[in-house]
Chains A and B, each alone.
Chain A
Amino acid sequence: MEPFRTLTARACPLPLANVDTDQIIPARFMKRSRAEGYGEVLMHDLRVREDGTPVADFPLNDPVRAGARVLVARRNFGGGSSRESAVYALADYGFRCVVAPSFGDIFSANCVNNGVLPARVSEADGEVLLAWLADGGQDVTVDLEACRIVAGNNAFDFAVDPVWRTKLLNGWDDIDLTLSHTDAIGAFAAADRLARPWATPRGR
């Protein structure tokens, strides 16, 4: 995975709370393979009317926000379904960072597993950032080393789980690390089978 250190990029405001993963990627698009790409269906039903025309005042459709890589939303972004395709849609569209006061637990883990930074800010800072973007602010700098976002004359600290921060900074994938512990896993499984015989499912 590509390491995430500092990102200076166009930011897009999304002044909505509770944007669940069903809205980030509607279920009917989830049959496609990853190779087909998910970017074009990101927030499809918020962006596109039933007749196929774009929703003019939806922020992602604003030409000023074209090429945005940082998304700024309100609380509980990515709650609901565990569908990792919500993160595929964000990543394939070009987003590397989502800024919000809170995130769904499963969604934020999925973000980190795809090199996308879920940056938690206070509700007050989030509102200042949204107001700055509404006033025409465009590019922000997200510094993961310092856990700091700079937007014009504003600067905000953000929070991210320290383990996730390290993982993102280095672009690490869990699986290689886990496979280095194969012996410990085998020893645990053997001892556990004796300690908890009831945990083994009875024959099929």
Chain B
Amino acid sequence: MTVADGAHTGKDGARTLFDKIWDMHAILTREDGETLLWVDRHFVHEGSHHGFGKLAARGARVARPDLTFGVADHYVPTRRAGGVADPGIRGMVEQLAANSAANGITLFGLDDPRQGIVHVVGPEQGLTLPGLLIVCGDSHTSTHGAFGAFAFGIGASEVSHVLMTQTLWQRRPKRMRIVVEGDTGPWVGAKDIALSIIARIGADGAQGHAIEYAGPAIRALSMEARLTLCNLSIEAGGRCGMIAPDETTFAYLRGRPFAPQGRAFDEAVSAWRGLATDPDASFDREIAIDAAAIAPVVTWGTSPEDALPVTAAVPDPGSARDAAKAAQMRDAIAYMGLTPGQPLTDIRVDRVFIGSCTNSRIEDLRSAASVLRGRRAAVPGLVSPGSSLVKRQAEAEGLDRVFREAGLEWVESGCSMCVGMNGDIVPAGERCASTTNRNFKGRQGPGARTHIMSPAMVAAAAVAGRLTDVRDIVGEAR
């Protein structure tokens, strides 16, 4: 059945998880199919200044400050003991604080012990819950879908619209289900699953689609790993990515500061149990992946779709399917300073970075530390925890010592070297093994070359000074 807004339901009104959440938030649908949606949580950061500027230009105020939360992450220095030295960067951090104060918005600011990367802080504080509609002026807002929320990034015009009305006009996207069967092997995790999917369907493969991840390999993932997977939905072009909530989700949320408590929590869980795709619901596109076939993955080019098992070689543009693809591959290989046919494990790196909204949670740090424990990094590197609370926990577990003793720098939390806005950049021409999400040209600094991979693989690259299979470093059978 198809109705005006593109809803389609299977037999007996069966609906997908995505459609259930969408329908819960639909205030009204116009004849042309555009729906006005209610927004449950709006996260703002220093980069949201254009949205606040538009608000001020109309002389308007934030409609629902109680549902709006500020987080200082994009521009914050990761070495900040003496305050923020750069006046331009300090201005960005102060502007967010001023906009938050003027509008009565709760701010997790620079000096707040709960500060961190917005997509780490939201879940950690229990602001991210199943069934919510969550937006933020940041494309990696897809991360929050790990809880069975509908979460997506928006532009500055949309930020100002949400600030003014707590709503947003959207057209219902198509639905895609990605089922991951089987079990992943040792040292293969959410990052490897995500990059394998993107390599297969392309960086625009999920454009216009809401992704639902399902299957036994997804159910087996921890909350942290689910966050990594949903985070990378945007790198496949997806509108959002989500995983139906289950006992793993509920156990993570119980007792989080902003989540319901006590009896209210149990009642919430009862409601959340209904947030699952009905057996007869249909999807516009279905993809199946075998977890057992996935090896640790690294990127070689300048798009997340340029991803291969670390056991492979730099591809040959001569084998591309058409001239446009060949040109794209030649351009990427030239930028990255590589040679077609070169084994990926021959690529030397100049530095490493462990951090970002993709892979900076406690489990990520434990994984990297387990590789580095008792070993030395051959190259310099930076470790920036996902939040100040993650930093504290890691220090309580002694992980900071493992990184320091390996020769890496242990710094404060923020977006840091993933996006380079705070001054943490990779120098031009240098090559960085990075736990981040984008290997775009110049992403980590002008002329920087980025290879993205899991925290364990970055740790392995640090030890070897080149891209390497973590299973060889730890002596694990393949």
Binding site for B on A (CB under 8 A): 15-18, 20, 22-23, 26-28, 30-31, 33-34, 45-46, 50, 74-76, 79-85, 87, 102-106, 109-110, 113-114, 123, 127, 161-163, 166, 174-175, 177-179, 181, 184-185, 188-189, 192, 196-199, 201-202, 204
In the bound complex, what is the Cα–Cα distance between A166 and B303 (angstroms)?
Answer: 33
10 extra interface residue pairs, beta carbon distance < 8 Å, beyond A15-B324, A26-B442, A174-B161: A23-B440, A26-B446, A50-B428, A75-B324, A106-B152, A188-B38, A198-B265, A198-B272, A201-B258, A204-B106
Per-position 1/0 for B13-42, Cβ under 8 A of A? 000000000001001100011101010110
B residues sitting closer than 8 Å to A (CB atoms) are: 24, 27-28, 32-34, 36, 38, 40-41, 47, 49-50, 53, 58, 66-67, 75, 88-89, 91-92, 106, 126-127, 129, 131-132, 137-139, 152-158, 160-161, 164-167, 169, 171, 173, 202-204, 207-208, 234, 237, 239, 257-261, 264-265, 267-268, 271-272, 302-303, 305, 324-325, 327-328, 331, 419-421, 428, 438, 440-443, 446-447
The answer for the CA separation of A75 and B450 in the assembled complex, in Å, is 22
List of B residues within 8 angstroms of A26 by Cβ: 442, 446
Indicate if the CB atoms of A23 and B441 lie closer than 8 Å: yes
How far apart are B410's CB and chain A's nearest CB, in angstroms?
24
- Residues on A with C-beta less than 8 A from B49 are 33
CB–CB A185/B32 < 8 A = no
- Nearest-neighbor residue (CB-CB) of A187 within chain B: B27
| A163 partner residues in chain B, CB cutoff 8 A | 32-34, 171
Given A102-B207, A113-B155, A174-B169, the answer on whether A34 and B53 have CB atoms closer than 8 Å is yes
Task: Report yes or no: A84 in contact with B420, Cβ–Cβ below 8 A.
Answer: no
- In the complex the two chains form, what is the Cα distance from A82 to B437 in whole Å? 14
* Also in contact, A82 and B442, with CB within 8 A (given A127-B324, A196-B271): no
Query: What would be 26 A-B contacts, judged by CB atoms less than 8 Å apart?
Result: A23-B442, A27-B419, A30-B47, A46-B441, A74-B324, A80-B139, A80-B234, A82-B138, A84-B156, A102-B207, A104-B204, A106-B153, A106-B155, A110-B158, A127-B324, A162-B32, A163-B33, A163-B171, A174-B161, A184-B27, A184-B36, A185-B165, A185-B167, A197-B260, A198-B260, A198-B268
Inter-chain CA distance A9–B88, complex, in Å, is 38
**Complex interface: chain A residues within 8 A of B305 (CB):** 18
Nearest Cβ distance between residue A11 and chain B, in whole angstroms?
18
Select which of A178, A198, A201 is within 8 A of B67 by beta carbon: A201
Query: Which of chain B's residues have a CB closer than 8 A to the CB of A33?
Result: 49, 53
A74 closest partner in B (C-beta): B324
B195: shortest Cβ distance to chain A, in Å?
Answer: 15
- Which residues in A have their C-beta under 8 angstroms from that of B75? 31
CB-CB nearest in chain A for B236 = A79
Contact partner, B139, options A18, A50, A106, A174, Cβ 8 Å: A106
Contact between A199 and B132, CB atoms less than 8 A apart: yes
Q: How far is the CB of A7 from chain B (nearest CB, A)?
A: 21
Do A105 and B239 touch across chains, with their CB atoms under 8 A apart?
yes
Contact check, B92 vs A31: say whether CB atoms are below 8 A apart: yes
Contact A50 B447 (CB under 8 A): yes
In the complex, are the beta carbons of A82 and B157 less than 8 A apart? Answer: no
Interface centre among B161, B258, B324 (most CB of A within 10 A): B324
Q: In the complex, which residues of chain B have a beta carbon less than 8 angstroms from the beta carbon of A85?
A: 50, 156
Of all A-B residue pairs in the complex, the 10 with the closest CB atoms, nearest first, are A198-B268, A113-B157, A110-B155, A84-B155, A84-B156, A76-B204, A82-B153, A82-B139, A188-B27, A22-B440
Alpha-carbon gap, A39 to B271, bound state (A): 49
In the complex where A22-B441, A26-B446, A199-B129 touch, is A79 in contact with B237 (Cβ < 8 A)?
yes
Considering the complex, give the chain A residue whose CB is closest to the CB of B91.
A31
- Shortest distance in angstroms between B24's beta carbon and chain A's nearest beta carbon? 7
CB closest residue in chain A, given B423:
A28
Instruction: Point out which of B92, B421, B442 has the most chain A C-beta atoms below 10 A from its C-beta.
Output: B442
Q: Is the CB of A175 within 8 A of B153?
A: no
